[in-house]
Amino acid sequence: MGKRITLSVIKADVGGWVGHSSVHPALLEKARGVLSGSPLLIDFHVTHVGDDINLIMTHERGRNDGDIHQLAWDTFQACTEVARQLKLYGAGQDLLADAFSGNIRGLGPGVAEMEFEERASEPVVVFMADKTEPGAWNFPLYKIFADPFNTIGLVIDPKMHKGFLFEVHDVLHHRRVTFATPEESYDLLVFIGAPGRFCVKAVFHKETGEIVAVSSTQRLNLMAGRYVGKDDPVCIVRCQSGFPAVGEVLEPFAHPHLVSGWMRGSHSGPLMPVSQRQCTPTRFDGPPRVVALGFQLSDGKLVGPQDFFADPAFDKARETANEIANYLRRLGPFEPHRLHLEEMEYTTLPDVMKRLKDRFEDLRGR
Ligand code: F6R
Ligand code: MG
Ligand code: MG
């Protein structure tokens, strides 16, 4: 029997270098320093994608553990101090509360955690995106776990043939519902095809009930009631031996789908798969991008990372993403490049409307 391990990925933007583009190395150094002093963790890996710091941590304390969440909170606080000293941009922006209150969820940072019995060999992929939102995972998660044109294992691996269970969260009304695929895939798509409202939170193996994937689903803008930064999301996927193969898990990203985010969290753009080295958004604060780091777990130790999208096999996807970006940018302030009114993080509409309200004439009865 393998050990029960919890893999926690907790992320926050606590100050950008320069603007909202990247993370200063001093913050990563600080985060590593704080985590390495903790007796709670088996192992950790600190990295960043764009302006978000990602704490990838393993331990044996289960999900939603107050001490682990406190550790992440303290780490982000310490990084915020450094960000303030360097006058980095938006220092402390994702730490919405003044003090930690037992669970980091709802306080600003994004959280994806799963607890499982480590298998004889446990390959995992951690996806981390910048300049987009949690619903960005809906498309790839559907492809990975429910689309036989992406995942041939659904057809020819007897251990996957019965399908998977998708736990979907309605982020507007804070409720959840679970769908079984393939039999309920059309019902599932009714919801997750609207990624601004419905997000795939987790995926389970239908036969064994094991957790296979989990994402971060908080929406900061809804939580705070005002713009505090896009909820750049993370997602963990376990691979192989009855779960999708690593290559099946990476495959959807060869086709850059359109996601919400980009400039001022108010635009639609292609999700570009990039290496760790290429993870700094530039053009129009984007385009949105995603990094995939692979690890083998060994009694909770993170053996890795493998920087998957560094592979030239994803060059074509980057090229396609650049073409899509070029095309969309020419639309400027017009939809569908600009998000529709309810989805924009920034808007001047109420103010402009107020100023012009007397200039609107009623057309009824004319
Ligand atoms: C999008 C993002 C950036 C900022 C933009 C304006 O998620 O982080 O595109 O929205 O740079 O930032 P402020 O309002 O801070 O000047
Ligand atoms: Mg930022
Ligand atoms: Mg960000």
Q: Does the pLDDT value for residue 2 go beyond 80?
A: no
Catalytic one among 3, 89, 157, 227? 227
Mean pLDDT, residues 141-149 taken together: 98
Q: How much is the pLDDT for 226? A: 56
| Position 223 confidence tier, pLDDT thresholds 50, 70, 90 | low
Find the 52 Cα to ligand 3 centroid distance in Å: 5
Q: Does the pLDDT value for residue 229 go beyond 60?
A: no
* Amino acid present at 119: R
Is any atom of ligand 1 closer than 6 Å to the C-beta of 129? no
| Position 222 confidence tier, pLDDT thresholds 50, 70, 90 | low
Catalytic one among 13, 52, 65, 147? 13
Find the 232 Cα to ligand 3 centroid distance in Å: 5
| Position 346 confidence tier, pLDDT thresholds 50, 70, 90 | confident
Q: Does the pLDDT value for residue 323 go beyond 70?
A: yes
Find the 50 Cα to ligand 3 centroid distance in Å: 6
> Which atom of ligand 1 is found nearest the CA of 89?
15
Best probe residue, ligand 1, of 52, 131, 263 (max atoms within 8 Å of C-beta): 263
Tens digit of pLDDT for each residue in 81-114? 999 999 999 999 988 887 888 888 878 899 999 9
Is any atom of ligand 1 closer than 6 Å to the C-beta of 285? yes
Q: Does the pLDDT value for residue 133 go beyond 90?
A: yes
Catalytic one among 143, 230, 232, 307? 230
Q: Does the pLDDT value for residue 224 go beyond 70?
A: no
Tens digit of pLDDT for each residue in 246-272? 999 999 999 999 999 999 999 999 999
Q: How much is the pLDDT for 221? A: 62
Is any atom of ligand 1 closer than 6 Å to the C-beta of 219? no
Q: Does the pLDDT value for residue 220 go beyond 80?
A: no
Residues 363, 106: Cα–Cα separation, whole Å: 45
Check residue 282 and give left, alpha or beta (phi > 0: left; psi -120 to 50: alpha).
Answer: alpha
pTM here?
0.96
The two beta strands, 272-273 and 289-298, are: parallel
Is any atom of ligand 1 closer than 6 Å to the C-beta of 264? yes
CB 130 within 8 Å of CB 215: no
Question: 6 pairs with which residues across the strands?
Answer: 59, 115
Q: Does the pLDDT value for residue 139 go beyond 70?
A: yes
Find the 74 Cα to ligand 2 centroid distance in Å: 19
Is any atom of ligand 1 closer than 6 Å to the C-beta of 205? no
Choice between 265 and 3, residue whose per-residue pLDDT is larger:
265
> Mean pLDDT across the chain, nearest whole number?
94
Q: How far is CA 216 from CA 23, 125, 325, 341, 349, in A?
A: 20, 14, 26, 24, 30
Q: Which ligand is the nearest neighbour of the Cα of 94? A: 2
> Which atom of ligand 1 is found nearest the CA of 131?
7
Does residue 227 carry a catalytic annotation? yes
CA neighbours within 13 Å on the CB side: how many for 240? 13
Tens digit of pLDDT for each residue in 165-215? 999 999 888 899 999 999 999 999 999 999 999 999 999 999 999 999 999
CB 163 within 8 Å of CB 82: no
Does residue 89 carry a catalytic annotation? no
Tens digit of pLDDT for each residue in 270-304? 999 999 999 999 999 999 999 999 999 999 999 99
Tens digit of pLDDT for each residue in 21-41? 999 999 999 999 999 999 999
Buried b (16+ CB within 10 A) or exposed e, 179-201: bbbbebbeebeebbeebbbbbbb
Q: How much is the pLDDT for 111? A: 96
Q: Does the pLDDT value for residue 65 go beyond 60?
A: yes
Q: Where are the alpha helices (DSSP H) in the chain?
A: 25-36, 66-85, 138-146, 153-156, 185-192, 220-224, 246-250, 315-329, 349-356
Is any atom of ligand 1 closer than 6 Å to the C-beta of 131? yes
Q: How much is the pLDDT for 297? A: 98
Tens digit of pLDDT for each residue in 111-126? 999 999 999 999 999 9
Is any atom of ligand 1 closer than 6 Å to the C-beta of 24? no
Is any atom of ligand 1 closer than 6 Å to the C-beta of 45? no
The values of phi and psi at residue 281, to 5°, are -65, 140
Does residue 358 carry a catalytic annotation? no
Residue nearest to atom 4 of ligand 1 (CA): 264
